[in-house]
Amino acid sequence: MDIPNAADTRAVGFDLDLTLVDTRERILASAVNAFADLGASIPAEAIVPHLGIPLADKVAALAPALDTPAFVAAYRDHYHRPQAPQSPAMPGALAALQAVRAAGDRAIVVTAKIEWMGRGAVTEAGLADELDAVHGSLFALDKATALLAEGAWVYVGDHPGDIHAAHAADAVAVGVTTGANDEAALRAAGADVVLESLTEFAAWYAQARP
């Protein structure tokens, strides 16, 4: 696709979970324990294909008879316990954000996580100082609203819904294969660029930015 004039828009958006921050083990552990609290035995491997989607959608797919608000409350309780797995920055995440800001652009997060959890995640991962905004509670096409409001010309994510959101916002759709979706799935969704991880982002950004 044609890359718009970044000098006019000055924002690059990033998904959070499994794009900027490695929340895989924390999500899986919290979900397994929350399901167990409600009497459902759902193994981690069954949850993996549903990484990156809202909690309500996980329940609908894996245990539709459960009380969704009760699951969400239990999940968030387990997620914030001191013994929960840590959520470090993904390899290349800090360098990616620094590359965006060094070029004079703004770096933003648009995530399905509620905003306060998103802010907490980037703070824990040591990325907060390199971010200009965090938008939460947005998934798939709903993310386009924030991307348009911020004037994002690129959106980076690991889920087909991120690719669709980028296109809906007329942004370059950059996929990363650090989540539950491989290159084929991201290409099938319409990704303009697919990177193995954010370690490749800074070099791509340097040549792609007008």
Sign of the CA dihedral running 19, 144, 70, 49:
negative
The reported pLDDT for the residue numbered 80 is: 94
The reported pLDDT for the residue numbered 52 is: 87
Where do the domains of the chain lie?
6-23+88-208, 24-79
In angstroms, rounded to a whole number, what is the distance separating the alpha carbons of residues 139 and 205?
24
The reported pLDDT for the residue numbered 4 is: 44
Asked whether the domain spanning 24-79 has the same topology as the one spanning 6-23+88-208, the reply is no
- Tell me the two tokens of residue 54: 């809202």
The reported pLDDT for the residue numbered 10 is: 84
Amino acid letter for position 85? P
What is the chain's mean pLDDT, rounded?
Answer: 95
55 has pLDDT over 80: yes
6 has pLDDT over 70: no
Return the bridge partners of 173, or none: 155
The reported pLDDT for the residue numbered 3 is: 43
pLDDT tens-digit series, residues 97-156: 999 999 999 999 999 999 999 999 999 999 999 999 999 999 999 999 999 999 999 999
The reported pLDDT for the residue numbered 51 is: 92
Sign of the CA dihedral running 61, 167, 205, 104:
negative
157 has pLDDT over 90: yes
7 has pLDDT over 70: no
pLDDT tens-digit series, residues 15-24: 999 999 999 9
Closest of 122, 120, 54 to residue 93, by C-alpha: 122
Closest of 124, 114, 118, 58 to residue 86, by C-alpha: 124
Q: How many CA within 13 A on the CB side of residue 106?
A: 16
Residue 149 Rama label (left phi>0; alpha psi -120 to 50; beta):
alpha
Mean pLDDT across 38-47: 97
- CATH architecture designation of domain 24-79: Orthogonal Bundle (1.10)
Mean pLDDT across 30-38: 98
CATH homologous superfamily of 6-23+88-208 equals: HAD superfamily/HAD-like (3.40.50.1000)
The reported pLDDT for the residue numbered 210 is: 81
- Tell me the two tokens of residue 51: 């990484």
In angstroms, rounded to a whole number, what is the distance separating the alpha carbons of residues 130 and 142?
24
pTM of the model: 0.91
In angstroms, rounded to a whole number, what is the distance separating the alpha carbons of residues 205 and 108?
15
Mean pLDDT across 197-206: 98
Share of the chain above pLDDT 90, in %: 94
Mean pLDDT across 27-49: 97
